[in-house]
A and B are shown apart, each in its own frame.
Chain A
Amino acid sequence: MTSTAANQNKDDGETRREFLFLSAGAMGAIGAGILAWPFVDSLNPAADTLAMATTEVDLTPIQVGQAITVVWRGKPVFIRRRTSEEIAKAEKDDNADLRDPQKDSARVKNPEWLVLVGVCTHLGCVPLGQKGNDPKGEYGGWFCPCHGSHYDSSGRIRRGPAPKNLAVPPYEFVSDTLIKIG
């Protein structure tokens, strides 16, 4: 055997071995990743948790100017029957300097009924403003006591650290006095 041939053989062997190493390593990594996924995904919401995803609310007992809190997916949902002044104020502020600009009309299905997820978009506290004697913040909506975010009568963020408006959950009017959230 000439030295050239020997070298070539050695080179071949090296490339072949490297290829086998790399492909075995890659397969091992893919396998470990696939095996890890069930462990990670098991932490995601389980089927029974997902199944509790809708809540029906009867609106008849709520007077104008009153608000109630219902539980949806373990979170508070605020339902406020707004007064005409609150509606007018919310619509007037459509053109104010808003951090998360949104028209009031885009946040309601019926202007009288404001339905919101009652969770501050900053760090998840429940804002005050549902009860008659609660502080409602500077804009007549809600005030979050944890870090001082002020929401207006459309649930839009006006001041404080929260980045977004209070979320509007998916809901529909089943009848004039019954809504289904979720």
Chain B
Amino acid sequence: MASGKREPFDNAFVEWVDSRLPIFTLMVKEYRAFPTPKNFNYFWNFGAIAMVMLVLMIVTGIVLAMHYTPHATMAFNSVERIMRDVNWGWMLRYMHMNGASFFFIAVYIHIFRGMYYGSYKKPRELLWIFGVLIFLLMMATAFMGYTLPWSQMGGWAATVITNLFSAIPLVGEKLVALLWGGFSVDNPTLNRFFSLHYLLPFVILGVVVLHVWALHVTGSNNPLGIEPNGPQDTVPFHPYYTAKDTFGLSVFLILYVVVTFWFPNVFAHPDHFVQYDSMVTPPHIVPEWYFLPYYAILRSITFDIGIPFTDIVFINAKFGGVIAMFGAVIVLFFLPWFDSHPVRSARFRPWYKIALLALALDFILLGYVGMETADAVKFGIPLVYVGQICTLYYFAFFVAIVPWLSKNEKALPLPKSINDAVLAAKGA
């Protein structure tokens, strides 16, 4: 990667290595001298935080795998053994379990940051696409991890989610048998989920390398959304942002540790502590909280799509729900092309800002709807209607509101440079 002119190092060993493989030069260039906009706020901590969470998940996961048995009759008990008998097993397992939740918290904030400040826009489209890909891989990994303790919740989550694929016309049933390796979720399914749950985090790590590489080609966006014009607009990454990231990370980890040690089951559910029984579905199954908005979108498609007033159906409700749920993630890939407004930051786009904050609320409301039962009624309103309106807004935001604003919104005047804006804010 780094080649060409190289500054020699004073340390003889470092110099010996670096002249053969310029890895120290690379680190200095990308993590010490790397010019970074000097106006980051705390939203810019979450990329580094997410990376730390990924490493933490991999490290705890590797150790847990040494004690876990991926077999339908033994998996549940092996997890109980981790909790009771393995030295520090309870801690490692709770760190892993809650680590997934905190990883998603960090990533959701990171995605929101990208949307609010327009970090997905030219020239950072590919950087954004790698990010969405990481998010998608995370979802697959988290879902498979959820099934591994072979609990009622995990086993039935596996059943429901794999059954989504049966909605695909013609090949659906065959595809589901292929996913299961049998006629139902059983030992072959557990085995392959374990294999993939171990593999995918390393695939994520690979895409993270591409994500960071792409970031270091374009440079970081910043809260003003204008490009730095020169050294007066930037600071070196180290020590300025290593320090800021460390501070933000510490605050985040304190919250994580508080939950892990004092409320370790706050994100769990009683059915997660009962062994999987393929003959009895628990009365109320829900996915992990970070999937609830997508689950609500899945359930909000309760109608067939076809020619009105006839019996002709193109997409039945079940397949429609599946398309909507996956579509809700896939649509993120295209955000850079839905929004071609020249101004990046929502600070200077009042209408986009309102639409995006409404989307954030909409997403939280969808999460609430996903948590309740399918036929729940609150304040006399069936929640399925709330879910349908929220789903409509979710998609309208991407395919209608943002493209319209992108052509018609008049932005507020932009500052001349990052430096000017920073000095003006300081009253200098």
Residues of A within 8 A of B (CB): 40, 43-46, 49, 69, 71, 73-76, 119, 122-126, 128, 144-148, 161-163
Most chain A beta carbons < 10 A, residue from B156, B183, B374:
B183
Contacts A43-B178, A145-B281 given; indicate if A125 touches B160 (C-beta within 8 A): yes
Contacts A125-B285, A126-B279 given; indicate if A46 touches B184 (C-beta within 8 A): no
Q: Which of B160, B181, B282, B375 contacts A124 (CB 8 A)?
A: B160
Please give the distance in Å from A102's CB to the nearest CB on chain B.
Answer: 15
| B179 x A161 contact (CB < 8 A) | no
Report A-chain residues with C-beta under 8 Å of the C-beta of B282: 145
- Can you name the residue of chain A whose Cβ is closest to the Cβ of B284? A145
Q: Which of A45, A69, A126 contacts B281 (CB 8 A)?
A: A126
Report A-chain residues with C-beta under 8 Å of the C-beta of B278: 71, 74-76
> B56-64, B315-323, B349-357, B413-421: which lies at the A interface?
B315-323
Q: Which of B178, B283, B318 contacts A145 (CB 8 A)?
A: B283
Contacts A49-B188, A76-B278, A161-B321 given; indicate if A146 touches B285 (C-beta within 8 A): yes
| A146 x B178 contact (CB < 8 A) | no
In the assembled complex, the Cα of A49 lies from the Cα of B156 at a distance in Å of: 20
| A44 x B160 contact (CB < 8 A) | no
Please give 14 more A-B residue pairs, beta carbons under 8 A apart, in addition to A126-B280, A161-B299, A161-B318. A43-B179, A45-B188, A49-B181, A49-B183, A75-B278, A123-B159, A125-B156, A126-B279, A145-B283, A148-B374, A161-B302, A161-B317, A162-B318, A163-B167
Please give the distance in Å from A3's CB to the nearest CB on chain B.
Answer: 44
Please give the distance in Å from A136's CB to the nearest CB on chain B.
Answer: 15
Assess whether B177 is interfacial by the CB under 8 Å rule.
Answer: yes
- Can you name the residue of chain B whose Cβ is closest to the Cβ of A162? B318
| A43 x B192 contact (CB < 8 A) | yes
| B374 x A74 contact (CB < 8 A) | no
| B159 x A45 contact (CB < 8 A) | no
Q: How many residues of B contact A (CB 8 A)?
A: 36
| B184 x A75 contact (CB < 8 A) | yes
| B184 x A74 contact (CB < 8 A) | yes
| B160 x A45 contact (CB < 8 A) | no
Most chain B beta carbons < 10 A, residue from A49, A123, A148:
A123
Pairs A–B under 8 Å by Cβ, sample size 6: A73-B183, A75-B183, A125-B281, A148-B375, A161-B317, A163-B318
In the assembled complex, the Cα of A43 lies from the Cα of B193 at a distance in Å of: 11
Please give the distance in Å from A37's CB to the nearest CB on chain B.
Answer: 12
- Can you name the residue of chain A whose Cβ is closest to the Cβ of B316? A163
Report B-chain residues with C-beta under 8 Å of the C-beta of A45: 177, 180-183, 188
Assess whether B163 is interfacial by the CB under 8 Å rule.
Answer: yes
| List of 4 A-B pairs having minimum Cβ-Cβ separation, nearest first | A73-B183, A124-B163, A74-B184, A125-B281
Report A-chain residues with C-beta under 8 Å of the C-beta of B163: 122-124
Please give the distance in Å from A132's CB to the nearest CB on chain B.
Answer: 16
Please give the distance in Å from A35's CB to the nearest CB on chain B.
Answer: 18
| B317 x A123 contact (CB < 8 A) | no
Assess whether B164 is interfacial by the CB under 8 Å rule.
Answer: yes
Report B-chain residues with C-beta under 8 Å of the C-beta of A144: 281
Please give the distance in Å from B152's CB to the nearest CB on chain A.
Answer: 11
Assess whether B186 is interfacial by the CB under 8 Å rule.
Answer: yes
- Can you name the residue of chain A whose Cβ is closest to the Cβ of B282? A145
Contacts A43-B179, A43-B192, A74-B278 given; indicate if A125 touches B159 (C-beta within 8 A): yes
Please give the distance in Å from A93's CB to the nearest CB on chain B.
Answer: 19
Most chain A beta carbons < 10 A, residue from B156, B163, B179, B373:
B163
Contacts A123-B164, A146-B374, A148-B374 given; indicate if A44 touches B181 (C-beta within 8 A): yes
Report B-chain residues with C-beta under 8 Å of the C-beta of A73: 182-184
Report A-chain residues with C-beta under 8 Å of the C-beta of B374: 146-148, 161
CB-CB contacts below 8 Å: B371-423 with A: 373-375
